[in-house]
Structure 1
Amino acid sequence: MIEKRLLQVIVALACIVPLVTGSTGILHGPQWLRGVGAAPVDLDSHFRYMSGIFFGVGLAFCSCVPNIEMKGERFRMLGMFVVIGGLARAYSLLSVGAPSKGHLLGLAMELGVVPCLMLWQAAYARRSKELS
């Protein structure tokens, strides 16, 4: 029971990142990023769209918190989206250069924290099922 609560709390805390950054991107566009002035209309539109998707992924991860041991398929699918986004960010880092510290922390979350949470959720779900 303690492990379940700890996993739920950590996942819920991790959800703060996409919810806050997604909603900020929706409301303010790319201008909230350091050093970004007025963006071309198409870039602004795309940025806000992607921010909306990011916000939606955060909401979907939140929906996994209750009964987290039973949400494995959803959790893995959402995690896969995040990892693919992280791989795209890593490609940008290699081909264009290092982004700001906030984006590097995002990369660490996308390719480090989220895969670890996916493994933990799967292991906990397996143990939970064995105990039932």
Structure 2
Amino acid sequence: MKSKTEIYALQIILAIMGSISLTMGVSGIWMGPNNMNKVTVPIRLDNHYRYLSGFVLGFGLTMWFYIIPRISQAVIIVRIFAFMVFMGGLARVVGLFKLGIMPDTFTLIAIIAELFFTPILCYWQARIAQRKDQ
């Protein structure tokens, strides 16, 4: 793939991911855990869910306003974000094993994306950054 085409392709994928993060973050803050289902949860769980939704919103904002425009220079922050997302995927897997349940379709797709797709994107961005340094 040509360098500019490859950069644009990665930026488009990151823009989609950033948009998903923005949407999930805002809806998680606004609606809380009831965003996912209509059960009542303890106040502490609701509070923690909204707090973590703030991180997801911040992730999306950082993606849109820092990483995408500086895709060739944002190596460290992309690696940090990729590590955080990967660890989140591992946490999901641990939870599934501890609860002894099979994941639903949404959770399975999320786990695959977090554990496999995210490292590929991190590698792709590092290749683009390395080419810019040469």
**2:113 is the alignment partner of 1:103:** no
Match of 1:12 in 2: 15
Distance 1:53 1:45, change over 3 A: same
The Cα of 1:99 is off from its aligned counterpart by 3.5
Residue aligning to 2:40: 38
Is contact 1:61–1:78 with CA below 8 Å preserved after alignment? no
Identity of aligned residues (%): 33
Aligned to 2:53: 51
CA distance in 2, matches of 1:104, 1:116: 18
Deviation at 1:100, TM superposition (A): 2.8
Residue identity opposite 1:105 in structure 2 = I
TM-score scaled by structure 2? 0.89
| Counterpart in the other structure of 1:118 | 122
TM (normalized to structure 1)? 0.90
The alignment yields a C-alpha RMSD, in angstroms, of 1.3
Query: Aligned with 2:103: secondary structure?
Result: coil
Structure 1 residue identity aligned to 2:46: D
Residue correspondence of structure 1 range 57-72 to structure 2 within 5 A:
57-62=59-64, 63-72=66-75
Q: Deviations over 1:75-94 (max 9, x none)?
A: 11111111111111111122
How far apart in 2 are the matches of 1:120 and 1:22? 26
**1:74-125 deviation line (CA, Å, top 9, x unaligned):** 1111111111111111111222123332222221221122111000000111
Unmatched 5+ residue regions in structure 2?
Answer: none
> What is the aligned length?
129
**1:3 equivalent among 3, 6, 15:** 6
